[in-house]
């Protein structure tokens, strides 16, 4: 029996994905749950395991190709029963059939040495994921990719449309190389490259001799597109404030070893600051918001995104309902998410629904920064390096531990008065930390 493997659905807000790397080649025998392909989305990178056992006949979506969720990506020969529906359809799939309703049942596994983050059940057993990764259709499929009928316009992904609009490209003159003749982002980029003025042999030689070219990975491209989308759609404004964290340093040092012995987690400064930020967000709700065109949408939940440098680039896992957690609860949440990032074990749920982002750039030695807002949020805050400085206190000079906090905010939603009130609210809370501040 021949089956079509479809691109997994991984969440309501994710409408397309990029084929990062095929882990099998046509002709390979693949056991069920063996890692099959690396999928890259604007949220997270994950390995998609094979939902059936059998032989991989052909690959329908090439590496680097961006396609909508539910599109066919591979053909399998298998004796397994298809785990999803569509068994009753006798006709082979056409280019238009990609848009038909499909099942979204699938599997994510862990402990398979992933290239990107993945989710899974205990002991590496597969689970039915809320991210809803894959669909498999049981059909008689053609041995070649379906062709687009004359006069039928191939579907375009949002990424392709954006790229075409940015460069004013007539897509009708581009031949698509994707599934069913779809125009992929690589097709558009190739067209742009061919449209540029050719270089002379001397120019080509200088490029080869003087410059080193690094191929942009799908993850790096996703990060780049997210940054461009943020700075081109959100009018950024910036504000910086200096905070005396002497008491915070003392309290953290007092509790650190006891928390490590009891909780098994290193108590850093970050959970204290997160606690003060979420309390300030409750008093300043327009910083926990998004722009809705003709309205400002205030978020009732406070889901704190924490920017973390992962092996493949920056990623922002989210602490859900952060305002309901204690300082120790936040410390455990930060430790858990950071471990998932570094071990590439994040699930889609770990990176969705953030309402505000905090970036601890101080661990990198930064003292002042102008961060880019995590679209479509209203603001992002950085905590900078803690430094001992001479400070004037009641006409006397004292040596205190000081830290800068820098915030970028959406000037459509907030003005300087609101942003300053928010920063001052955080500052008061941090400077009021004492030995009596509850951490549990």
Q: Which residues are catalytic?
A: 411, 415
Report whether the peptide linkage leading into residue 376 is cis, meaning its omega lies within 30 degrees of zero: yes
Burial class (CB in 10 A: 0-12, 13-18, 19+), 232: exposed
58: tokens are: 């052909």
Is residue 401 within 8 Å of residue 244, measured between CB atoms? yes
Q: What is the chain's length?
A: 440
Q: Which of 251, 20, 10, 309 is nearest to 132 (CA)?
A: 10
Count the neighbouring beta carbons within 10 Å of the beta carbon of residue 105: 18
Sign, CA dihedral 64-65-66-72, equals negative
Q: In sequence order, what are the beta bridge partners of 393? A: 396
């Amino acid at each position: 029996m021949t089956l079509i493997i479809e691109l997994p659905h991984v969440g309501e807000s994710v409408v397309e994905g990029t084929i990062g790397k095929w882990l099998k080649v046509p002709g390979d025998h693949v056991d069920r749950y063996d890692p099959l392909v690396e999928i890259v989305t604007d949220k997270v990178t994950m390995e998609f395991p094979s939902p059936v056992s059998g032989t991989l006949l052909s690959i329908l979506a090439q590496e680097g190709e961006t396609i909508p969720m539910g599109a066919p990506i591979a053909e399998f020969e298998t004796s397994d029963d298809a785990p999803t529906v569509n068994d009753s359809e006798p006709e082979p799939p056409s280019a238009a059939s990609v848009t038909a309703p499909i099942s979204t049942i699938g599997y994510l596994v862990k402990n398979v040495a992933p290239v990107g983050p993945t989710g899974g059940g205990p002991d590496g057993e597969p689970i039915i994921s809320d991210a809803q990764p894959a669909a498999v259709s049981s059909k008689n499929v053609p041995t070649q990719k379906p062709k687009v009928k004359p006069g039928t316009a191939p579907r375009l992904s949002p990424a392709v449309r954006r790229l075409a609009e940015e460069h004013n490209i007539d897509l009708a003159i581009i031949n698509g190389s994707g599934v069913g003749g779809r125009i992929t982002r690589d097709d558009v980029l190739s067209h742009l490259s061919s449209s540029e003025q050719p270089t002379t042999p001397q120019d080509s030689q200088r490029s080869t001799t003087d410059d080193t070219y690094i191929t942009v990975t799908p993850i790096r491209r996703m990060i780049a597109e997210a940054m461009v989308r943020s700075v081109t759609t959100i009018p950024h404004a910036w504000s910086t404030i200096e905070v005396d964290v002497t008491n915070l340093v003392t309290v953290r040092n007092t509790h650190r070893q006891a928390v490590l012995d009891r909780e098994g987690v290193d108590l850093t400064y970050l959970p204290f600051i997160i606690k003060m930020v979420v309390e300030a967000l409750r008093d300043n709700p327009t910083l926990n918001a998004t722009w809705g065109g003709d309205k400002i949408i205030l978020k009732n939940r406070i889901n704190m995104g924490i920017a973390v440098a992962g092996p493949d680039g920056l990623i922002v896992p989210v602490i859900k309902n952060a305002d309901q957690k204690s300082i120790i609860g936040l410390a455990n949440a930060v430790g858990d998410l950071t471990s998932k990032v570094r071990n590439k074990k994040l699930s889609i749920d770990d990176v969705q629904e953030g309402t505000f982002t905090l970036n601890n750039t101080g661990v990198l030695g930064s003292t002042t920064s102008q961060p880019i807002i995590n679209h479509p949020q209203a603001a992002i805050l950085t905590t900078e390096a803690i430094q001992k400085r001479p400070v004037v206190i009641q006409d006397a000079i004292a040596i205190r531990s000081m830290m800068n906090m820098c915030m970028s905010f959406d000037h459509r939603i907030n003005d300087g008065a609101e942003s300053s009130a928010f920063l001052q609210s955080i500052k008061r809370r941090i400077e009021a930390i004492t030995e009596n501040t509850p951490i549990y």
